[in-house]
Chains A and B, each alone.
Chain A
Amino acid sequence: MDLKHLGYITEIANTGSFSEAAKNLYISQPSLSQYVQRLESKYGVSLFNRTRSHITLTDAGRLYIRTGAALLDMEQKITDSVLSGGVNDGKVVIGISPYRDCYILAKALKLFDSLYPRARIRLFEHRNSILEDMLTKGDIDMMIGPHTNDSPAFIRTKLFSERMLIAVAPNYWFFHENDVRTCSIDGKRYPSINLEDLSSARFIMLSAGTVLRSKAEDLCRRAGFTPRVILESKDIGAVHAMAAAGIGVTFVPESFVACHPLKSDAEYYLPMDCDLDMEMSIIRCAGRPLPPAAAEFARILLSQWETGAPL
């Protein structure tokens, strides 16, 4: 199908005459007639009903014009897509911790989707050790997670760093000072406490092997005690809810608090004198360039966290 000259056919249809169409198209009438005849013999159908007075499209001719217009559309889309480097038809495969996608990715996903409506995004939610495996195997393009090892196999780009907060039920008895500190993520302020005061507290913790668990244990160790863990769960939402219900105290990252979707009665404190920030990064494999769509998504995500509070 000759899309360049689709206009020839529409012009004949519009004017109802070969000679007039030829005049408007600045070509000779014989070459226009020949052109149409070639098309008609190619498809084995007549595109026009030819009567002495008037020329009209056949049903096949109408279908030809309709299809031609659709194909021109498709052609434009293909060109756009090729020129956008494949972002628009690309696929982004991201790994992230189960609860983190909503606050880290939500805005970037929305923006990306409005810019590249045909691109597809696939999220894999697993704990970090599994995600690192998937990344190494190439099952995901990139992962978003805390900086936990310095393996040269990964390239990290920092998104933000955050503190760990203590979450407790409202009436939980606490020594706390009136020293109020500002958090880094959303500018919220939390009263600070001395972690040592929790040395005999009952702790609720995420399952062993998670980054948050080892971070929490590190914090307690620095404060000079081993936490008494009375309850473990795999799900940070559950851990948080237990704490809010007064079963014990727990650690949650401040980003979790900042975007916790459920109304909760929990109160939050910032452990004093602890510089154990968690650094969240985009992590990808060294030596494996990101596919165009994934690279573009990473760019959008980074610019969101750089230009201000994404929450």
Chain B
Amino acid sequence: MNTKQYQYVVAVSETRSFVKAARQLNVAPSYLSKQIQLIENELGRSLFDRSHVPLSLSPEGEIFAAGAWEILNAERRMALEMRDIENVPGGTLRIALSAYRSAYMLPKILPIFYRKCKGVRVELTEVPVEQVNNLVVSGKVDIGIAPDSYHTPDITRIAGPEEEILLAVPVSHPINARIQAQPNELPAISLTALGDTPFSLLENGTSLYAMAMNLFGLTGYTPRTTIEARSLESVYSLVIADLCAALIPSTMMPGTNKPGLPHFYRIEDVSLKRSLCFLYRKNSYLSKAARALIEIVNDNY
């Protein structure tokens, strides 16, 4: 068979719909349905139960789709490896990471990456951290970037940079005037120095929320939390808007202290860090481009 045919089966099994799968594959639904029928005829078994919507896989279909998926992965692996063997520039690198890392980390990384890996197309999938692992396991991306805490056994991890969690204080806060800026080091302040300043937290269930709770317990001081937000970017934009203080990972800190931006502080006597790691599927091939990306991130953070 042609591996295209396996792609058809996988697409239908994932979308549970011929119409959706056809759209995804960029072919006509009638053509897709005919191709699937050809495979079913060749096997003498039906792979899909079309009697209801959404359609479901027959037991044979489940087996076939799982095998098809393995084949497609093996082919993708070969394609990556062939380019690397022959030193051909280009190819694609698919990365899954959380939205704020994409927005704040990659602008610094990608220009260096593109200089080193000419012609490589980068495809970013921004998802909540919990989904990074799944995307990597399912082969939808080549590499994932996530905190070190979350991964399943079918994943190989490479250590990434450490992310420090900092206190971002709105620009108009009086404490900013009192603290002397040091040339190469972030000043540390006590959490209590915030006083009655409103505080914004990432919503419950996130690792940053857990770290914050831990910190409040440790310092015995809980800021007046006025806003819980869903994404770190909205938390940060509230700080930028001079509304509140928040805990912000160092990744989001701007490189230079531009006027009008929040001030960043370490928290006195507490080391608040989490390490990132790069995830890829066990036994899959890590392309030169992927390895270059890892190296660049680790060199720059």
B2 touches A44 (CB 8 A): no
A58 touches B86 (CB 8 A): yes
A46 touches B86 (CB 8 A): yes
User: At the interface, yes or no: A71 with Cβ under 8 Å from chain B?
Assistant: yes
Determine the chain B residues whose CB is within 8 A of the CB of A86 once the complex forms.
Answer: 59-60, 62-63
Partner of A43 from the list B3, B60, B79 (CB cut-off 8 Å) is B79
Determine the chain B residues whose CB is within 8 A of the CB of A75 once the complex forms.
Answer: 1, 67, 71
User: At the interface, yes or no: A98 with Cβ under 8 Å from chain B?
Assistant: no
Partner of B82 from the list A43, A70, A74, A83 (CB cut-off 8 Å) is A43
B68 touches A2 (CB 8 A): no
Chain B 83-109 residues near chain A, CB threshold 8 A: 83, 85-86, 88, 90-91
Determine the residue in chain B with the shortest Cβ distance to A47: B82
Distance (whole angstroms) from the CB of A196 to the closest CB of chain B: 56
Chain A 179-196 residues near chain B, CB threshold 8 A: none
User: At the interface, yes or no: B70 with Cβ under 8 Å from chain A?
Assistant: yes
**In the bound complex, how far is the Cα of B67 from the Cα of A89, in angstroms?**
10
Query: How many of chain B's residues touch chain A, expressed as a range?
Result: 20 to 34
User: At the interface, yes or no: A111 with Cβ under 8 Å from chain B?
Assistant: no
**In the bound complex, how far is the Cα of B64 from the Cα of A86, in angstroms?**
9
Contact indicator per residue, chain A 57-101, by CB within 8 Å of chain B (1) or not (0): 011100110010011001101110111011001000000000000
Partner of A83 from the list B3, B45, B62, B85 (CB cut-off 8 Å) is B45
Partner of A74 from the list B60, B67, B78 (CB cut-off 8 Å) is B67
A63 touches B63 (CB 8 A): no
User: At the interface, yes or no: B14 with Cβ under 8 Å from chain A?
Assistant: no
A45, A82, A292 interface centre (most CB from chain B within 10 Å) = A82
Distance (whole angstroms) from the CB of B207 to the closest CB of chain A: 33
Q: A44-B91, A74-B74 are in contact. Are A81 and B67 (CB under 8 A)?
A: yes
B43 touches A60 (CB 8 A): no
Determine the chain B residues whose CB is within 8 A of the CB of A83 once the complex forms.
Answer: 43-45
A82 touches B60 (CB 8 A): yes
Determine the chain B residues whose CB is within 8 A of the CB of A71 once the complex forms.
Answer: 3, 71, 74-75
User: At the interface, yes or no: A1 with Cβ under 8 Å from chain B?
Assistant: yes
Determine the chain B residues whose CB is within 8 A of the CB of A63 once the complex forms.
Answer: 78, 81-82, 85
Query: How many of chain A's residues touch chain B, expressed as a range?
Result: 20 to 34
Determine the chain B residues whose CB is within 8 A of the CB of A291 once the complex forms.
Answer: 59
User: At the interface, yes or no: A137 with Cβ under 8 Å from chain B?
Assistant: no
Distance (whole angstroms) from the CB of B169 to the closest CB of chain A: 50
B64 touches A64 (CB 8 A): no
Determine the chain B residues whose CB is within 8 A of the CB of A60 once the complex forms.
Answer: 82-83, 85-86
Contact indicator per residue, chain B 48-76, by CB within 8 Å of chain A (1) or not (0): 00000000000110111011101100110
User: At the interface, yes or no: A4 with Cβ under 8 Å from chain B?
Assistant: yes
Partner of B85 from the list A2, A59, A70, A81 (CB cut-off 8 Å) is A59
Chain A 1-29 residues near chain B, CB threshold 8 A: 1-4
Determine the chain A residues whose CB is within 8 A of the CB of B88 once the complex forms.
Answer: 44-45
A82 touches B63 (CB 8 A): yes
A89 touches B75 (CB 8 A): no
Q: A74-B71, A75-B71, A85-B59 are in contact. Are A3 and B83 (CB under 8 A)?
A: no
A67 touches B63 (CB 8 A): no
Partner of B75 from the list A1, A58, A59, A78 (CB cut-off 8 Å) is A1
Determine the chain A residues whose CB is within 8 A of the CB of B77 once the complex forms.
Answer: 67
Determine the chain A residues whose CB is within 8 A of the CB of B83 once the complex forms.
Answer: 43-45, 60
Distance (whole angstroms) from the CB of B51 to the closest CB of chain A: 17
Distance (whole angstroms) from the CB of B7 to the closest CB of chain A: 11
25 contacts between A and B (CB under 8 A): A2-B3, A3-B1, A4-B1, A4-B2, A43-B79, A43-B83, A44-B90, A45-B85, A46-B86, A59-B86, A63-B78, A63-B85, A71-B3, A71-B71, A71-B74, A74-B67, A74-B74, A75-B1, A75-B67, A78-B64, A78-B67, A82-B64, A85-B60, A86-B59, A86-B63
Interface residues of B (CB under 8 A from A): 1-3, 43-45, 59-60, 62-64, 66-68, 70-71, 74-75, 77-79, 81-83, 85-86, 88, 90-91
Give me the 6 closest cross-chain CB pairs, A-B, nearest first.
Answer: A78-B67, A60-B82, A67-B78, A1-B3, A45-B86, A59-B85
Taking A1-B3, A4-B1, A45-B85 as known contacts, 10 extra A-B pairs with beta carbons closer than 8 A to each other, sorted by chain A number, are: A3-B3, A44-B90, A45-B82, A45-B88, A59-B85, A64-B82, A78-B64, A82-B43, A82-B45, A82-B60
